[in-house]
Structure 1
Amino acid sequence: MNFFPTKSLILGLLLTGSILSCRVKNNSDPTPSGSGVDTSNVAVNNWIYDNMKYWYLWTDKMPEKAKTNLNQNPDDYFYTLLNDYPNTDRFSWIQKSSDELTASLNGINKVFGMKYSTYYLDNNQKNVGFFVTYVIKGSPAEKAGLKRGDIILTINGTQLDVDNYRTLPTVETATFGLGKVSNGVFSLSGSTVQVTKAEVQDNPVHYWTVIEKGNKKIGYLVYSQFISTFDNNLRQVFGEFKSKGVNELVLDLRLNPGGYISSADLMASLIVKNLNTNNVIHSDEWNANVSKDRPGYLAPTKFKDEANNLGTLNRLFVLTSTGTASASELVINGLRPYMDVILIGDHTYGKNVGSVTLQDSQKRWKWGMQPIVLKTVNSKGESNYGTKDGFPANYAVKDNVIPYKAWGDESETLLKKAIELITGQTTTLQVAPNARVSVSQLKNEPLQVNESENPYQNRKEMYTTFPK
């Protein structure tokens, strides 16, 4: 049996197994015979179980194979193996197409290209609106003119409501009816945009600027996902910050669900004060199987020598939400032993474990699974944010004043608070009091701060490369 991790997402970590392969003898794994390959549920589930037994962080909590039902649908079978699902392990998942899985973890999806929050429009709690928080550069949505702050009230002429708001966005082509607000009342503006889904890749270095307030030069960066393809873009932005003399930094991670650990390590190395490549960012804890076979995986990850490291920051301000997860939380946790990290917004998601993508190297089936395989701790051995409360905000600010302000607008709710804390002065800029309650909040579900029309973009993950 071949254990072959490919590009992987880890609880906030993304593990990419470029060459890693572990061959384990497995007498129960069916061997193809004749001209056909056994792709029955039993064959697939044997593969699932044996891979999980070797890699899964909680391998000691798995049931004995003989006590499992190998005839189940693989999608159902996988979840019977998880540790206290959906509580202790609320992160592992399986998908029919490993290709689609790895593409989505790299920000590649067939989408309109936007993220939004869903709010009730009135006290009747019937009609709702999509309030656009983020539009992917170069996406169909951006090309059609959609932008952060827009309000979508209808799709193909149908009003969004609590019964259809999940299904209407699944169409391939949509005509969005845009809305306006006056005195707290939302209505159609008369403007529409037509958008057809296309495959796009998100550049996570979405927006940056430098805000000058007296002797304060505040770097502000909106970073939407830790994707290693765009690491040089991140370096370039910090090069601009450094050349402009930035002495305060506001890192906007409220829409960031995680990504590659290597990119999180880069981010930390660009920010940390007094960069020292002997200092540890984090260490990873694996199960007994992996720890024994691959002791190198236990080696701590240290800061990298980055020329554009800002170097002089005494503190970091991070804008957060319940969608701030995984690799985002890794940066927060990794930097805390070395500088003040001040969180503004809502508590974070709470994911201190990482996963890896596993697919069949013999290509007998297309299933891909994303099980949790490690736990991460900082240089002080701290990892106490792995609950549904995550990291609490130092300054709790509700991000529910809508329509949303443009990125970099100094009256934007969370950025406004960060500027006040940096300057010590309360701004006179006012924001409209159009606070709303989200649909999901009233249903006691996670707040839809990072909702996308593509469900895989809502995963809270963290990826990395396997140690060599």
Structure 2
Amino acid sequence: MKNLRIVVFTLFVSWIFVACKKETLNPTTTTKTTTNSTTTNPNEAANSWVYDQMKEWYLWSDLLPEKSKTNLTLVTGKDGDDDIKKYYFYSILNDYPNIDRFSWIRENVTDLTNSLSGISTAFGFSRTAVYLDNTQTDIVFFISNVTLDSPAAKAGIKRGDIILTVNGTQINKDNYTTIIANNETATFGLGELKNGAFVLSGKTLKATKAVVQTDPVHFWKVIEKGDKKIGYLVYTSFLAAYDTKLKTVFGELKSKGVNELVLDLRMNGGGSIASADLLSSLIVKNLNTNNVIHQDEWNANVAKKYPSVVNPTKFSNQPNNLGMLNRLVVLTSNGTASASELIINSLRPYMDVIIIGQNTYGKNVGSITIKDDNNPARWTWGFQPIVLKTNNSKGESNYGTKSGFTPNYVVSDNIYPFKDWGDESETLLKRALEVITGVAIPVEASANAKRSFRQLETQILQLHESENPEENRKDMFVKLPK
């Protein structure tokens, strides 16, 4: 049996093999796959290989059952299936989906790495799905965000749009999860607020799915309020391919004399830890390259074989660091996860981090991508086992529960339709500006557009979800040492 290698490519070459990740080099492993030449079950060899890799890399490898006590005849795995008990990969996880709710597997490793690098075939928008009324039958999509240069953007769909129909069919409780996924081309029936109700406006927009590359440096501006020059950045994913653009934007913010920063991570489910480390280095007050951003825990076998993994990660020298920020204001949703939460945890020992929005997702662990590197490959599987846990410079990592980080100011996205990014009356940005300046911003007079979150919390089915389910994963990407 040929030796196996774990290859974790960086985003610069559009292969990211990780999920709470820094970027990855290509360590060669000598783990051998156990097979039985008399085995007739088609799943046994693949499952044996999966087990061996998990035994080497899994954070909780010491809690894995003995291989002989596992059912190697199960189907290896399948992503997105509710009945995970019939799949081998999930059967060996540490109390899935309670303690380990993050490890996952895909049948095609190319699809897996594309999704981690922000590449997907999609229309390119995220939406919040809400029941239209108390009958809880018909549903409206409020567009939360549109990916730059995506088919949706080119068709004219924008944040704040209201979608009521797809190809003439009303969105409802039975079809809202499939009505977009099942159509390669769609005509979206737009709605409007009229007499206190959302109704069809008569306008339609048509788009066809295409390969979309997410540009996470989505929007930025500087807002001046008295002596406050407030930088506002909407950052939607930690993708290393856009690190240069991120540094350039911070250069612009610095040149404009920004002395406050609002980092909008509502749409950000994570990404490369290396990119998170870069962002931390661009933000931190009194940048010192001797100071620790975070230190990671791996299983004992990995720590022994690659001792550098337990070395602390330190801030990097970034000329565009904003310098003397006394605080960072972060806007969050329940989908703010992984590398986004790492930013909050890493910067707290060095400056005030004020959270405005909702509780974050709660993920303080990360994974690598594992695939079969035999030539030719025996299996197309790619899987993401959790391999590390992150701690800040104080050893703190107390946000890894389903309640995540609790906001300093609990504010929900409860104004529909959504305002444009950067609109000073937009719900969360408005509250951030009030916290920074100490001056209240008057509420708009349009009572019809306002609904309290208390009224809607039982009516929201999806909050800021991508129309492509593969884009809704919560990830961080790691680079393994040589």
Report TM bin, short chain: over 0.9
- Distance in structure 1 (CA, Å) of the matches to 2:402 and 2:55: 26
How do 1:20-31 residues align onto structure 2 when only pairs under 5 Å count?
20-26=27-33, 28-29=34-35
Q: Which amino acid aligns with 1:333?
A: N
Aligned counterpart in structure 1 of residue 315 of structure 2, from 287, 303, 311: 303
For residues 146-197 of structure 1, what are the alpha-carbon distances to aligned partners after superposition, in whole Å with 9 as ceiling and x for unaligned? 0000011000110000110011011111110000012430100000111110
- Distance in structure 2 (CA, Å) of the matches to 1:17 and 1:263: 13
How do 1:33-72 residues align onto structure 2 when only pairs under 5 Å count?
40-72=42-74
For residues 47-100 of structure 1, what are the alpha-carbon distances to aligned partners after superposition, in whole Å with 9 as ceiling and x for unaligned? 111101111101112111111111111111100011111111110100001101
**3-state secondary structure, aligned to 1:236:** helix
- How many residues in Structure 1 have an aligned counterpart in Structure 2? 460
For residues 316-366 of structure 1, what are the alpha-carbon distances to aligned partners after superposition, in whole Å with 9 as ceiling and x for unaligned? 000001100000001110000000000000010000000111110111111
- Distance in structure 2 (CA, Å) of the matches to 1:417 and 1:169: 33
For residues 217-245 of structure 1, what are the alpha-carbon distances to aligned partners after superposition, in whole Å with 9 as ceiling and x for unaligned? 00000000000000000001100000000
> Equivalent residue for 1:434?
450
2:24 and 2:481 in contact (8 A); partners too:
no
Q: Which amino acid aligns with 2:306?
A: R
- Distance in structure 1 (CA, Å) of the matches to 2:454 and 2:159: 17
Where structure 2 has 5 or more consecutive residues not aligned to the other structure, the ranges are: 10-15, 78-86
Q: Does 1:251 align with 2:263?
A: yes
**3-state secondary structure, aligned to 2:203:** strand
> Equivalent residue for 1:292?
304
Task: Report the CA distance shift for 1:346/1:195 in structure 2 as closer, same or farther (over 3 A).
Answer: same
**3-state secondary structure, aligned to 1:269:** helix
> Equivalent residue for 2:176?
165
Task: Report the CA distance shift for 1:39/1:147 in structure 2 as closer, same or farther (over 3 A).
Answer: farther
Q: Does 1:181 align with 2:193?
A: yes
Q: Which amino acid aligns with 1:208?
A: W
**3-state secondary structure, aligned to 1:449:** strand
- Distance in structure 2 (CA, Å) of the matches to 1:122 and 1:172: 29
TM-score computed with the length of structure 1 as normaliser: 0.95
How many Å apart are 1:448 and its aligned residue? 2.8
- Distance in structure 1 (CA, Å) of the matches to 2:68 and 2:382: 23
Q: Which amino acid aligns with 2:396?
A: E
- Percent of aligned pairs sharing the same letter: 58
- Distance in structure 2 (CA, Å) of the matches to 1:459 and 1:441: 22
1:253 and 1:319 in contact (8 A); partners too:
yes
> Equivalent residue for 2:295?
283
Q: Does 1:6 align with 2:8?
A: yes
Aligned counterpart in structure 2 of residue 337 of structure 1, from 326, 349, 359: 349
Task: Report the CA distance shift for 1:418/1:379 in structure 2 as closer, same or farther (over 3 A).
Answer: same
What root-mean-square deviation, in Å, do the aligned CA atoms of Structure 1 and Structure 2 show?
A: 2.0
- Distance in structure 1 (CA, Å) of the matches to 2:409 and 2:445: 18
> Equivalent residue for 1:415?
429
Aligned counterpart in structure 2 of residue 317 of structure 1, from 315, 323, 329: 329
2:23 and 2:274 in contact (8 A); partners too:
no
How many Å apart are 1:436 and its aligned residue? 6.7
For residues 347-405 of structure 1, what are the alpha-carbon distances to aligned partners after superposition, in whole Å with 9 as ceiling and x for unaligned? 10000000111110111111100110000000000000000000000000011211000
**3-state secondary structure, aligned to 1:233:** helix
1:218 and 1:246 in contact (8 A); partners too:
yes
- Distance in structure 2 (CA, Å) of the matches to 1:465 and 1:440: 42
How do 1:118-157 residues align onto structure 2 when only pairs under 5 Å count?
118-157=129-168
Q: Which amino acid aligns with 1:435?
A: R
More displaced 10-residue stretch of structure 1: 228-237 or 421-430:
421-430
- Distance in structure 2 (CA, Å) of the matches to 1:431 and 1:222: 27
For residues 403-424 of structure 1, what are the alpha-carbon distances to aligned partners after superposition, in whole Å with 9 as ceiling and x for unaligned? 0000000000000000001111
1:224 and 1:256 in contact (8 A); partners too:
yes
Task: Report the CA distance shift for 1:273/1:15 in structure 2 as closer, same or farther (over 3 A).
Answer: closer
Where structure 1 has 5 or more consecutive residues not aligned to the other structure, the ranges are: none
- Distance in structure 1 (CA, Å) of the matches to 2:25 and 2:204: 45
How many Å apart are 1:437 and its aligned residue? 6.4
For residues 275-324 of structure 1, what are the alpha-carbon distances to aligned partners after superposition, in whole Å with 9 as ceiling and x for unaligned? 00000000110011101111111110000000000011000000001100
- Distance in structure 1 (CA, Å) of the matches to 2:210 and 2:175: 23
How many Å apart are 1:18 and its aligned residue? 3.0
More displaced 10-residue stretch of structure 1: 38-47 or 323-332:
38-47
**3-state secondary structure, aligned to 1:222:** strand
Q: Which amino acid aligns with 2:316?
A: K
